[in-house]
């Protein structure tokens, strides 16, 4: 890059100040948050992420240096919905593996024993309220009896094993008419109207483990050697060149 295209020191300094301001606003939003999913915290997070990214790019262009910060991306487009939405839609997906079907059947049967009129989804279990060996019926009983959040917190009791999960909060201009979207509840979501989302996945833990392993591997490759003339010890990389860790360019 030519000198003419490089940002000035003043621009880099201004970007650094913007990061400091965004940090203060993020901390203030966290301290004042009204709950776990406070939109003010999410907005402050996005502001901090944008400021940190801008600073990182200017710092690299001006000085060929990087920051140690990496802001995770959820792959969503920028929010383009109303600033003051009149309604919101909350969409939740949670995946489970049927790890122990017998435990699920037993839990469903206990529910049926307590309530002979219990139904499995859209169909009744019958006059005896017997689940029998039907996993399909057992799923209907369990998910019909317990709230989704309770199942999520007690999934092991129902023989379920957690997979990925996500929660999206999407802005709407007005509340939908009763029954309007029930036949296709997930087909009308505009990604640009998603105010915030919260994802849970093992892949995030795997990425963290891989990053830690990579750093440990680099540190383990460094050897202590003595200079040819008996000088003081010095640490060098196995490839005689220590690579600076940072985001790819």
Dump pLDDT digits (tens) for 83-102.
889 999 999 999 999 999 99
pTM of the complete model beyond 0.85: no
pLDDT of res. 118: 66
pLDDT of res. 171: 92
CA distances from 128 to 103, 111, 117, 146 (A): 20, 12, 9, 21
Asked if pLDDT for residue 62 goes beyond 50, the answer is yes
122-177 pLDDT, tens digit each: 444 544 456 777 899 999 999 999 999 999 999 999 999 999 999 999 999 899 89
Task: Give phi and psi for 155, each to the nearest 5.
Answer: -55, -35
pLDDT of res. 249: 39
Of the candidates 208, 200, 136, 134, which has an alpha carbon nearest to the alpha carbon of residue 162? 200
180-221 pLDDT, tens digit each: 999 998 887 888 898 888 888 888 766 556 656 655 555 444
Q: What mean pLDDT comes out for the span 14-24?
A: 94
Q: What is the mean pLDDT of the chain?
A: 78
């Amino acid at each position: 890059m030519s000198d003419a295209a490089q940002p000035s020191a003043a621009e880099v300094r201004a970007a650094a100040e913007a990061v400091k301001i965004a940090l203060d606003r993020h901390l203030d939003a966290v301290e004042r948050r009204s709950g776990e999913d406070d939109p003010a915290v999410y907005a402050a997070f996005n502001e901090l992420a944008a400021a940190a990214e801008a600073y990182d790019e200017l710092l690299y262009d001006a000085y060929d240096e990087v920051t140690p910060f990496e802001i995770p991306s959820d792959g969503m487009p920028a929010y383009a919905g109303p600033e003051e939405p009149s309604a919101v839609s909350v969409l939740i997906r949670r995946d489970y593996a049927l790890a122990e079907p017998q435990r699920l059947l037993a839990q469903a049967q206990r529910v049926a024993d307590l309530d002979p009129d219990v139904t499995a989804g859209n169909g009744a279990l019958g006059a005896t309220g017997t689940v029998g060996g039907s996993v399909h019926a057992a799923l209907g009983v369990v998910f019909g009896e317990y709230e989704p959040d309770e199942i999520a917190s007690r999934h092991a009791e129902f023989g379920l094993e957690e997979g990925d999960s996500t929660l999206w909060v999407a802005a709407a201009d007005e509340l939908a008419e009763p029954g309007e979207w029930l036949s296709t509840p997930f087909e009308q979501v505009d990604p640009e109207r998603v105010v915030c989302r919260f994802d849970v996945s093992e892949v995030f833990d795997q990425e963290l483990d891989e990053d830690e392993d990579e750093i440990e591997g680099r540190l383990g490759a460094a050897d202590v050697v003595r200079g040819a003339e008996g000088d003081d010890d010095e640490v060098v990389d196995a490839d005689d060149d220590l690579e600076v860790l940072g985001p790819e360019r």
